[in-house]
Amino acid sequence: MPHAVQQLIACCFQTVHRFLSAAVFLLATFLAQGATVSVGVSKVDVTPTHPVLLAGYGGRTTEHDGVDTPLWARSMVIGQTQPAVIVVLDNCGVTQAITDRLAKRLAKRGVAADRLVVATTHTHNAPTLVGYAPIVWKGRTTPEQDQRVEAYTQFAIDKMEQAVAEALAKREPMTLEWTQGRATFGGNRRVVNGGNWAGFGHQRNAPVDHSLPVLAARDANGAVRAVWANYACHCTTVGGRNRISGDWAGFANTWIEKEFGNAVSLMTIGCGADVGPQPSGNLAIAEDHGRAIATETKRLLSEKTTALKGAPTVTARQIKLPLAKPKPRGHWEEQLKSGGFHHQLAKAMLAKLDGTGAVPAEVNYPVSVWKFSNDLAMVFLAGEVVVDYSVRLKRELDWSRLWLNAWANDMPGYIPSRRILREGGYEADFSQVYYEQPGRYDPAVEDQLVSTIRDMVGSEFWAKPGQTPSPYHKPPSGESTAFKRLASWAGGDRSEVEQQLIQKLQRYMRIAQSAVVRLTSTDQEETEWHNFAGDFVHRSFIRQQKVGTELAWATPPFSKLAGSTLVYGFSGGIGWITEPKTGGFALAIGGEEKLRFDVTKEPARWVSEDGSVELIYLPTWTSSVDSGGFFFVTLTPIPVNDDGAVEFAVRSLGQGSKRWFALDTKQPDPALLQKLALALD
């Protein structure tokens, strides 16, 4: 074979090899990124152009005073021939009738009704829509106000249609990915005392869902063009201010769009009907919450995500949720004598009895599920769904592949769990009046809804035996942050006295004995407050409000010979440093006062006059007035009682001041003290 021919054949082989290598690389990249799918996004301004009543608070009876931030209808379309469509409206809620009106229009554009989700951000600073919480306005509006509500409802439907139409027109090939992170400003708002609802506040030991699932669409250049995030928390940061705003969800969208340039952001709300923003009170706080969402979203999308392989498969059902046994006509006739909302509900129920002969015993309820292969199941639930459903579903399903969305497609009211029905209160009972429901739900509602969801997502999303619990139902511990902060302090430019204190603490932490086995006093109060890590924990505490108030406890039995030195360690805190200064606190050992100390936010050391007792306090969490941390006490000799234990007590030496001393119910174990020592190394 001539040499030139050989060279030509070799060149061809090299070209084919390079082509195949490039093809394999592109295929691997394509598979890693996920298949392209047709995606379009759009947003349209829906800020009202005329005065209108705002939804969310029954006490606002006049039309809005102005606009703090604009409102939007935002849409994402996924798929070409049978698109899955979501439109998110900055509003308190949409009824099934409004969803149906929009669906009828979009059918002409190729959008099937069962593939449409109409979700809201549940901001309480948006116009009320026709049919939303109808009893709130019965008998309290003028014909002119009603006309303006109808006009805005028509306007909102027009704009939602426009948003979807624009998203349909803007579709282009994109890749989809999703991931899951955490937001932490939602706190359970149901205050419960003695097992019963006692009002609104912040119940720190009640369930939450701090998961922040995020879905993103990237164009052919890898640029993020759409971001969809979801968090389970009421949009009520601003409160009853009679002005238009999107609350924290609106600010989240604004900040996400700033972070990603050309992207359109959609913020939806999870199962957070009994979860409220903490703190709350004004627009600045709402913006802080929104910025926190955006910051976490940006972090998540800069790290590893899960590629989605294309458009979702969609299933939708209408089920009926059971109400408690309907009350007879006589009840409603009696209720006519009452005033306000109950009177209006009685009129509505009597009208139903006159028209159909019965009061409804069930509630029509839509459920939709979008499944992206086996990678992600999105569940869309109507109404205000309490967080217990999230807790249970993320236990019975694979929480790592689950996205729960509430306030979607209809607004039948609150959807309580068995726990909520047992405790009673707003979400279980009185809220039903606003939504024109004849009474509370039957406790079977929880099992029926959960069973429906399990069936719709399919067994491939059921939890495997021994599944690791979802980490999102409790606030994350600040322990690691506390240790990092302590290490930074110890490694800084410390004075000679501070260096000596650090060396002493390192030694004490490695040999400290448990100081608390049982409380022996009765003067103390009980509470939950920040511990050494800033976490809320159960504590016993006393204040300097009365001389002699005592918090006393005993150590475990100890057999070490008298005359030697022992170190005891315990956790707690001291605080409210701005309260009047009094005589402080006394530390007593075996009933005898040994030394005195007071509130501080800095590391401190106190020694008895005879040198037999030393107390060191190391704060690892502080606020402007309080601190939490660790106490270490050295005793020489060791004054044990007849049981072989040491009796400790802290007593108030002053009165008229709310300065406090607290002892944690759960005390540190040796492993925690070892971590503490390592942080000081």
Q: How does residue 564 score in pLDDT terms, banded at 50, 70 and 90?
A: low
Residue 17 reports pLDDT greater than 50: no
Structure tokens at 625: 């007035």
Cα–Cα distance between 107 and 114 in angstroms, integer?
Answer: 10
Structure tokens at 290: 């929104």
Please report how many Cα atoms fall inside a 13 Å half-sphere around the Cα of residue 201, on the Cβ side: 10
pLDDT tens for 467-522 read: 999 999 987 788 988 999 999 999 999 999 999 999 999 999 999 988 888 899 99
Q: Tell me what pLDDT residue 566 has.
A: 87
DSSP secondary-structure letter at 32?
H
pLDDT tens for 213-243 read: 999 999 999 999 999 999 999 999 999 999 9
Q: Which amino acid is located at 72 in the chain?
A: W
pLDDT tens for 169-178 read: 999 999 999 9
What is the secondary structure of 72-91 as a DSSP string? EEEEEEE-SSS-EEEEEESS
Residue 165 reports pLDDT greater than 50: yes
Question: 3-state class of 2 per DSSP?
Answer: coil
Q: What percent of the chain has pLDDT over 90?
A: 86
Domains identified in the chain and CATH numbers: 34-319+364-476 (no CATH), 326-360 (no CATH), 480-680 (2.60.120)
Mean pLDDT to the nearest integer, 586-595: 95
Q: What percent of the chain has pLDDT over 70?
A: 94
Q: In sequence order, what are the residues at sequence separation of 6 or more whose Cβ sits closer than 8 angstroms to the Cβ of residue 192? A: 198, 203, 206, 423
Cα–Cα distance between 681 and 678 in angstroms, integer?
Answer: 5
Of 160, 132, 88, 46, which is closest to residue 408 (Cα–Cα)?
88
CA angle 382/385/389 to nearest 5° reads: 120
Q: In sequence order, what are the residues at sequence separation of 6 or more whose Cβ sits closer than 8 angstroms to the Cβ of residue 582? A: 544, 652, 653, 654, 655, 656, 657, 659
CA distances from 459 to 311, 381, 455, 462, 516 (A): 20, 19, 7, 5, 49
Q: How does residue 645 score in pLDDT terms, banded at 50, 70 and 90?
A: confident
Mean pLDDT to the nearest integer, 392-417: 98
Cα–Cα distance between 415 and 382 in angstroms, integer?
Answer: 9
Q: Tell me what pLDDT residue 560 has.
A: 52
Question: 3-state class of 314 per DSSP?
Answer: strand
Phi/psi at 594 (5° precision): -110, -40
Residue 343 reports pLDDT greater than 50: yes
451: left (phi over 0), alpha (psi -120 to 50) or beta: alpha
Residue 287 reports pLDDT greater than 90: yes
pLDDT tens for 22-66 read: 443 333 344 444 589 999 999 999 999 999 999 999 889 999 999
Please report how many Cα atoms fall inside a 13 Å half-sphere around the Cα of residue 638, on the Cβ side: 22
Strands 116-120, 84-89: parallel, antiparallel or unpaired by DSSP?
A: parallel
- The residue to which tokens 């939303």 are assigned: 132
Mean pLDDT of the chain: 92
> pTM of the prediction?
0.82
**Comparing 2 with 542, which gets the higher pLDDT?**
542
Mean pLDDT to the nearest integer, 134-141: 94
